[in-house]
Amino acid sequence: MFFASDNWAGAHPAINERLSRESTRFAAAYGNSDLDKAVEKRFNEIFERDVSVYFVSTGTAANSLSLASIARIGGVAFSHSEAHVIEDECGAPDFFSGMRMVPVEGENGKIDPAKLAAGIAGFPQDSLHHGRAAAVTLTQATELGTVYTPDEIDALTAIARQNGLPVHMDGARFANALVALGVSPAEMTWKRGVDILSFGGTKNGCWCAEAIVFFNPDLAREFAFIRKRAAQLFSKTRFISAQFDAYLSDDLWLGMARHANTMADRLRAGIRSQNSARLAWDTTSNEVFAVLNKASAQAAEARGARFYGWPTPLNMSEPVKDDETLIRLVTSFATTEEDVDQFLTICKAD
């Protein structure tokens, strides 16, 4: 019953098999192999346009270097106040981009458009002392398990565009958001005005594979140097490419994300039907936030369930009582119905 994070899951057998196959041959290094080139082209098909793709090893590197590529001196980048870039990356985005991350509030992990506009207005382009607005970054799916609808993305990118700011999307759980919405990769990104995407594979069945996808080639002009200086150009890049080769073949990536979301749906339905637990807020991706009485949470942990306690957001419709606890449950391609049902049975019994 591993619900701590989709990072805890292993790698899908098809990805392991593709890696093993790649390991038996020689090929050009530093992203210059036939496989690297073929997988880069595959991203053009996935996104229905020519894109520039750069592989990196972690989501933090993908976000930080994406922001570095659009950095302006004295620039500030706006993100949701609970976004991974601002809360969980130890300042790496600030370090690599030289920009300051500025939090914007919004319910359910989503940036509020009016608050974004107000935030940008607070950093005019001639603001020498305060800093100047330079970028917007949004997370899809969000850290709170919610998913921006295409209209909600439009609303944010329109504000960014009015102010001449490029938009980055942290897609560490891109596939989970995509299948939750049932739209195409293009419809969730460049057709909505997103300029750069951190395309995550690691949380969804890869061993270690993240890609930075540029929809605007002008923004990628210097990027090869940015990545190299950040020590993220791998001599054996082809082993990231091999993972993406399997990931993007036969819709494996979408199948894995669909499975993870379905397991989360099962959790959501089971929790809704219980008296001793409730959903903290509604989510549609592979993350579920639940309020359990403390006895149930302890019983589940004692029986081997793994999950994280979560800080209580200010705007919860029903506050967490003293004898209750808020937890996050994350499902993955490797979660089974048995895991979910066992967890729900333990919660019900207590």
Ligand X SMILES: Cc1ncc(COP(=O)(O)O)c(C=O)c1O
Interaction site with ligand X (CB under 6 A): 58-60, 63, 84, 139, 143, 170, 172, 202
Give the number of C-alpha atoms closer than 13 A to the C-alpha of residue 58, restricted to the C-beta side. Answer: 12
Residue among 33 and 237 whose Cβ is closer to ligand X? 237
Give the residue at shortest CB distance from ligand X: 59
Q: What is the DSSP string of 84-116?
A: HHHHSSTTHHHHHH-PEEEEE--GGG---HHHH
Cβ closest to ligand X, residue 167 vs residue 347: 167
Between 99 and 277, name the residue whose CB sits nearer to ligand X. Answer: 99
> What is the pairing mode between strands 210-214 and 196-200?
antiparallel
Pairing of strands 308-309, 324-330: antiparallel
Beta strands in the chain (DSSP E): 52-56, 75-80, 100-104, 132-139, 167-171, 196-200, 210-214, 277-279, 287-293, 308-309, 324-330
Residue 143 Cβ vs ligand X, minimum distance, rounded to whole Å: 5
Nearer to ligand X, 132 or 173 (CB): 173
Q: How far is the CB of 158 from ligand X (least distance, A)?
A: 23
Torsional class of 325: left (φ above 0), alpha (ψ -120 to 50), beta (otherwise): beta
Q: How far is the CB of 289 from ligand X (least distance, A)?
A: 14
For ligand X, which is the closer residue by CB, 12 or 132?
Answer: 12
Residue 339 CB, nearest distance to ligand X (Å)?
A: 20
CA distance 73 to 85: 19
Task: Report how far residue 297's alpha carbon sits from residue 295's, in angstroms, rounded to the nearest whole number.
Answer: 6
Pairing mode, if any, of strands 75-80 and 100-104?
parallel
Which C-beta is closer to ligand X: that of 202 or that of 296? 202
Minimum distance from residue 139 beta carbon to ligand X (Å) = 5
* Nearest distance in Å: CB 7, ligand X: 6
